[in-house]
């Protein structure tokens, strides 16, 4: 069985790169639902439907462990998929998200005030605030929706993205940690760190590989089912040359293939 990684677009490739750099021996299938991008401004019903379709597709690709790298899909769909869909449809498959590992990392330094930037849907769900307060009820949390970032990144317009960071950064000068709550946003982490030198910027690409390794160490029953042939496939629901150019920044030797959901 392979490790599947799902995102609404290409941002999850940043997380996949972290996985591959940490655990290169495993087989990975990445699926980006570029045909329905962006998820952040879609309804909860749409996001749930897209995510279920993506999980079905990755199961059809023989993925035994699936990571929903999309923060928006994690916030809206993960609980339903774990508690309702997977037990009935594929009880041997494990599906994980990215929010809990991110929250745990953000609080390691003892932060008393945490900021969150994410898509509109993620912010509206308040999932980060809820999970942060479960660990520290006295924490102060500041959430700001930054939907423009995803479109700028997907268009490879980093000049625009840098200007957007400059415009949002003043909201977070008084926080201890700032969570980049979207898998696209690690591509902007240096801009945030330049604008907020006294704030700990929590970027998912920097710890998700270690978190996955730790999970597999703790769940040997899953680890032993995973194949190790260093096979990597990157699939999208809609291909164009621009997406390939974006992907080449992270994986210059691996082509993106267009595929259709089939399950």
Q: Which residues are catalytic?
A: 70, 182
Structure tokens, 237: 């629901």
Rounded to whole angstroms, the Cα distance separating 234 from 15 reads 13
Rounded to whole angstroms, the Cα distance separating 91 from 54 reads 16
Query: What sign for the dihedral angle of Cα 123, 124, 125, 129?
Result: positive
107 Cβ contact list (under 8 Å, min separation 6):
114, 132, 135, 136, 139, 177
Distance of CA 27 to the CA centre of its chain: 19
**What length is written for the chain?**
263
């Amino acid at each position: 069985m392979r490790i599947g990684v799902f995102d609404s677009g290409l941002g999850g490739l940043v997380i996949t790169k972290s996985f591959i750099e940490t655990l290169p021996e495993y087989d990975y299938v990445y699926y980006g639902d570029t045909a329905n991008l962006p998820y952040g401004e879609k309804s909860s019903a749409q996001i749930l439907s897209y995510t279920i379709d993506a999980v079905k597709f990755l199961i059809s690709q023989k993925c035994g462990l699936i990571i929903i790298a999309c923060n928006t899909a994690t916030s809206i769909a993960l609980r339903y998929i774990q508690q309702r869909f997977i037990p009935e449809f594929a009880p041997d498959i494990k599906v994980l998200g990215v929010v809990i590992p991110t929250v745990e990392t953000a609080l390691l330094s003892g932060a008393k005030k945490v900021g969150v930037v994410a898509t509109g849907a993620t912010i509206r769900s308040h999932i980060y605030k809820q999970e942060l307060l479960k660990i520290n009820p006295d924490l102060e949390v500041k959430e700001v929706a930054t939907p423009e970032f995803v479109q700028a990144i997907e268009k490879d317009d980093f000049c625009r993205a840098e200007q957007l960071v400059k415009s949002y950064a003043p909201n977070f000068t008084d926080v201890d940690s700032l969570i980049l709550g979207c898998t696209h946003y690690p591509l902007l982490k240096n801009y945030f760190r330049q604008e907020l030198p006294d704030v700990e910027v929590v970027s998912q690409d920097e710890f998700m590989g270690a978190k996955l390794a730790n999970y597999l160490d703790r769940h040997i029953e899953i680890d032993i089912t995973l194949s190790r042939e260093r096979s990597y496939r990157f699939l999208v629901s809609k291909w164009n040359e621009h997406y390939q150019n974006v992907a080449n920044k992270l994986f210059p030797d691996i082509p993106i293939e267009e595929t259709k959901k089939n399950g």
